[in-house]
Copies of this chain bind each other. A is one copy, B any other.
Amino acid sequence: MKLLEERIQRDGIIREGNVLKVDSFINHQMDTELFWEMAKEWKRLFAGEQITKILTIEASGIGIAAVVAREFQVPVVFAKKSMSINLDNDNYSTKIESFTHGRIYDVIVSKKFLTASDRVLIIDDFLANGCALMGLLELVERAGATVAGIGVAIEKGFQRGGELIRARGIHLESLAIVDAMDARTGTIQFREK
């Protein structure tokens, strides 16, 4: 998606260790007009999939997923990363490793909000090693629901997550795939579609 690539080019900051900071428009400060353009693009790419539910994971996926849910006119559920008194005991849960926070999380969704009749579109801001998405896929599977697709804003094409997910035959649409980036020169190379 040209608009997103140009925005990453303009406002993204590359740091040593393959860190791409997009905190001015995606995952700390959020540009919801951009999210809306992304939502419309996913609507086009997943047309005919009869999505009944959007699923994401707290925290940085929620803003994008909320705008996407309004565009698809379906409810959105965010998986929680820890147990709180607002959760019942009747949940699907799994464990994932977070690259960003350097720790292991419990990821939890109430059984009430994922059912066998759901056709789920999973939305997240980043795809790198794929740990978070694999966790969400597992929750959908446990619920007996169908994964209609995965929409990711930015995929790090030089890490293995995208490859692993596509190898499972899942319809994955990353709006920008970064194949290489250089912290010294500040250059980013996007994959041609």
Binding site for B on A (CB under 8 A): 19, 21, 23-25, 27-33, 35-36, 58-59, 62-67, 69-70, 73, 75-78, 80-82, 84-87, 100-102, 109-110, 112-113
Contact A30 B66 (CB under 8 A): yes
Q: Which residue of B lies closest to A113 (CB)?
A: B29
**A109 to B23 CA separation, bound complex (whole angstroms):** 11
Contacting residues, chain B, for A109 (C-beta < 8 A): 28
Q: This chain: how many copies in the complex?
A: 2
Contact B63 A29 (CB under 8 A): no
A20 to chain B, nearest CB (A): 9
Contact B80 A59 (CB under 8 A): yes
**A29 to B55 CA separation, bound complex (whole angstroms):** 9
Contact B70 A84 (CB under 8 A): no
A175 to chain B, nearest CB (A): 17
The 9 closest A-B pairs by CB, nearest first: A58-B59, A63-B66, A62-B62, A32-B70, A29-B113, A59-B59, A66-B66, A32-B69, A29-B77
A sample of 20 more A-B contacts (CB under 8 A), given A28-B109, A86-B100, is A19-B85, A23-B87, A24-B113, A28-B78, A30-B66, A30-B75, A32-B66, A32-B75, A32-B76, A35-B66, A58-B59, A59-B80, A62-B62, A62-B63, A63-B65, A63-B66, A64-B66, A66-B67, A67-B70, A85-B101
